[in-house]
Amino acid sequence: MNQQENIPDEGEVILIDKPLTWTSFDVANKLKRACKFKKIGHAGTLDPLATGLLILCTGKKTKQIDSFQAQEKEYTGTLVLGKTTPSIDLESDFDAEYPVGHITPEVLENARRQLTGHIEQIPPLFSAIKIDGVRAYKLARRGEEAEIKKRPVEIKLFEIDATHFPSIDFRIICSKGTYIRSMVRDFGELAGSGAYMSKLCRTRIGDFELKDAWELTAFIHQKRVALNLEVDE
């Protein structure tokens, strides 16, 4: 019998801690090849420079992807005031510097408060949003300008810790469709400066938590053992 036929048709929901620099597609593609899944998809993209919880569904469970994507998300991370990059993270080089000497705890609290609740945000140009059928990040990497419309999101919780200023640690609980890099960009502007994101980790999607996720290579190892496939020692 073909090993692939041993995989239950019902499929499964897999929680993976996405490795740094991997795209969400990279993880799905790796699992499909290594574990002989016929059909697999992920429930919510994470940027390459983000880590954390990635939900993947196989087989018939892929029908649940939309419901997982609709659930609230929780993130922790770090933003740094005083500099910006085109991608709002460290995927691109610094393009400008801004003052931070005027930023008081009151300024930070005002920025935090304005970005809490029901707000509108403009997604980053370096994103997978389609503009006239073309992914925005492709336009950005070609140096082309593009207009991205505001979209409503809900920020249910936005906590900040400025102990290591100008680095600001944060925790955010938000609705579907929220771009954390947009939050970082807008926070910097509201503080009268600029900002980029130096670290991001998704810790929860609905009731699924990062603490219950597999490390990628560990999941592949145990799955290949279960399927009687060759494993790396």
In the prediction, which pLDDT does 200 show? 98
Task: State whether 212 and 152 are in the same domain.
Answer: no
Mean pLDDT by 10 residues, the chain (233 residues): 49 97 96 95 93 97 96 98 96 96 98 98 78 65 73 97 98 96 98 98 98 97 90 63
Task: State whether 214 and 199 are in the same domain.
Answer: no
Tokens of 9: 């048709």
Structural domain count of the chain: 2
In the prediction, which pLDDT does 231 show? 72
In the prediction, which pLDDT does 227 show? 87
In the prediction, which pLDDT does 7 show? 47
Report yes or no on 57 lying in a domain.
yes
Residues labelled as active-site residues: 47
Looking at the DSSP assignment, which residues form a beta bridge with residue 196? 80
Report yes or no on 233 lying in a domain.
no
CATH number of residue 191's parent domain: 3.30.2350.10
User: Which amino acid is it at 23?
Assistant: T
Half-sphere exposure of 111 (CA within 13 A, CB side): 25
Task: State whether 187 and 113 are in the same domain.
Answer: yes
Task: State whether 103 and 10 are in the same domain.
Answer: no
Report yes or no on 92 lying in a domain.
yes
In the prediction, which pLDDT does 62 show? 96
Q: Which domain holds residue 111?
A: 73-205
In the prediction, which pLDDT does 132 show? 64
Task: State whether 213 and 149 are in the same domain.
Answer: no
Task: State whether 86 and 187 are in the same domain.
Answer: yes
